[in-house]
Amino acid sequence: MYSIFKQPIIGGIVFAIVMGLTALSYGETSGFKAKELLIIFIPRLLILCFVIILGSIAILGPMLGFLRMDFPKDSKLRHKYCCLLLNIQKVDTILIITAIVVLLLVNIPFTQTKLIPDSWYIYIYYSFLIIASIMGGGFVTLISLIYKTIYKLINERDSEDPADSPEVQIKEIIEKE
């Protein structure tokens, strides 16, 4: 993986850890209280899943459109650009799939069943808090990856200009004069 991806990934991990620790720092709760908190938390988790799914799909569409950008076929910048987009799309796809799985899990009406003992709701509640933190960190990572990729592509010059590019033709004209 490229070194430009280290900083966004670390930022997403730090975000997930801070959000997870913040949610967990509110103290322990009993099984019955966890069930009540879970009933309140599930609609908010649904909204988070919908936001991540819609945001990730909205990002994925233009990223696929960017593949149509014109670069010379033998350009090193074209290869780097396509590799960066591929890595962003991998993170985006994983985030979409994770949000869909969580969305499906949350729609199971386990808070209304008598089969689950009250002591299990503590683990379910904290599991969902951790999952929400990880999904939030993944979305922060995705946005940071897009920013770093665009920044790198704007500020990086291609090391090999093909002979038919306008820059090379202008350099040749200037050198002849």
Of the listed ranges 22-26, 74-78, 120-124, 164-168, the least confidently predicted one is: 164-168
Give CA–CA dist 7/136, Å, rounded. Answer: 16
| pLDDT above 70: percentage of residues in the chain | 74
What's the mean pLDDT in 123-151? Answer: 86
Give CA–CA dist 38/46, Å, rounded. Answer: 12
Alpha-helical runs (H) found in the chain: 6-24, 31-66, 76-106, 120-155, 166-176
Please return the burial class of 87, using the count of CB atoms within 10 Å of its CB with bins 0-12, 13-18 and 19+: middle
Closest to 70 in 3D by CA, of 142, 165, 160, 1: 165
Q: Looking at the predicted structure, is the pLDDT value of residue 101 above 90?
A: yes
